[in-house]
Amino acid sequence: MEHPWGAHRAILHADLDCFFASVEVLEDPRLVGLPVIVGGTGPRGVVAAASYEARIFGVRSAMPMAKARQLCPRGVFLNGTYSRYSSVSLLFHSVLRRFTDEIEAVGLDEAFMDVSGCLRLFGSPQVIAAEIRRVVKKDLGLSVCVGVGTTKQVAKLASRRAKPKITQGVVGPPIGVVVVWPGQEQEFLDPIPVRELWGVGPKTYRKLQSVGIERIGDLRRARDETLASVFGKGATHLRLLAAGCDSDAVMSGSRRKSIGREQTYPIDLHQMSQVDRELVRLADSVADRMRKNRAAARTITLKVRFGDFRTITRSVTLLSATDSRAEILRHLRELFPEGSTDHGIRLLGVAMSNLKKDGAVQLMLDDDNSEREEALFRTVAKIKERFGTNAISPASLIDDTVKPEH
Ligand SMILES: [Mg+2]
């Protein structure tokens, strides 16, 4: 079957609308149509998500909660229930996985998909995108917007344009799916503010502004000398961003050089017991994915971001590669810096690198216990493979509600 995507990659970016807030509304229908704001209610609390009704008042995620209260005094302010978001997120990813395994999750509510390989099976990318929207609405009750493009950069900018717009205090209907066809990238990108480019942080943006670059088109047309004088060697990279060309593949398990998982918490974790549960969850999740990819890793890296955004990473390289969930967990517990919950933990991440494929696994079990545990987790992995990720979880994950701060 011929289709206009030809040899181009067809990348989808699927992004749930106001995820945490929508899940809360789903749980409590009395909240429908109200300005719902989820986030930390402590003194340093920030907005984790806001419904469109709250956005009308100017509330945005990452805004200090105090500011949100000022803007929207009649808002419904909720602490949020992390465990609920996490399980809905798993369901969301399982819907996406019905179409392809080439999925790269970005946080709980966004994912890139490379559907190039399944166009014959399911139809064009926009048909797949529309079907994703339909199934997510039907099965999860949530609204998702999808962007389609030849690169991740373009797909992400496209999904943003598929979102509902607020004009003069009224929330419009979502466009739902925005497709940027091969060859249309420039026309699509040129009018978009350059700060929306993935890879242009506040520092780069200020420098771009200093030479009069506001839109992606300005960047594309800027003179080589101008860019080089401000960015040196980085100029080439910026030029590529402006062209919408990232060589970045969708990092599903089969192609990646590391396997990892990161979790940002809507409310900082202050108790070691919470942190430990999250380490269990992360170890379980990466071990699961390594098995699926028949990979084992020698290097385990733990990333910790504190309440004040200070971030540290610590890693250990093992003598032989492992995919053992028990072993990964043991190292994570050792890598976690003692006493550091005082400042609150905003994010935890685990990356497994130095990957080996197939048969490289030499388990180093230090006692019977871990061997039994290992056997248990292999069984769990098998059950999950057959029935989906939600079918079973280790007992220590059952009580994982993020406690309100007061
Ligand atoms: Mg979202």
pLDDT at 391 over 80: no
By the 8 A CB rule, do 78 and 24 touch? Answer: yes
1-179 domain in CATH 1.10.10.10? no
At 398, the pLDDT band (50, 70, 90 cuts) reads very low
CA dihedral over 333, 338, 341, 343, signed as positive or negative: negative
Of residues 261, 251, 243, the one with CA closest to residue 114:
251
What's the CA gap between 314 and 266, in Å, rounded? Answer: 23
- Residue pLDDT, tens place only, 211-226: 999 999 999 999 989 9
Ligand 1 center to 109 CA (angstroms): 5
- Residue pLDDT, tens place only, 302-317: 999 988 878 888 888 7
Catalytic residues, which ones? Answer: 110
CATH top class, domain 259-397: alpha beta
pTM of the model: 0.64
Ligand 1 center to 62 CA (angstroms): 13
- Residue pLDDT, tens place only, 167-196: 888 888 889 999 999 999 999 999 999 999
Ligand 1 center to 168 CA (angstroms): 22
DSSP percent split of the chain into helix, strand, coil, nearest 5: 45, 20, 35
Range name among 88-102, 208-222, 357-371 with the lowest pLDDT average: 357-371
**How high is the pLDDT of residue 298?**
83
Domain boundaries, the chain: 1-179, 190-242, 259-397
Of the options 2.30.31.10, 1.10.4080.10, 1.10.150.20, 3.40.50.300, the CATH number for the domain spanning 190-242? 1.10.150.20
> By three-state DSSP, how is residue 4 classified?
coil
Q: 307-312 long-range CB contacts below 8 Å, 24 or more apart?
A: 307/44, 307/268, 307/343, 307/344, 307/345, 307/346, 308/343, 309/346, 310/343, 311/347, 312/337
What's the CA gap between 313 and 302, in Å, rounded? Answer: 6
CA distances (Å), 223 to each of 200, 211, 253, 320, in order?
Answer: 18, 11, 40, 51
Percentage above 90 pLDDT, the chain:
44
Element (H, E) at 377: helix 368-387
Ligand 1 center to 324 CA (angstroms): 33
- Residue pLDDT, tens place only, 260-274: 888 888 888 999 999
pLDDT at 365 over 50: no
Ligand 1 center to 170 CA (angstroms): 20
**How high is the pLDDT of residue 31?**
95
**How high is the pLDDT of residue 405?**
30
Of residues 128, 112, 122, 359, the one with CA closest to residue 252:
112
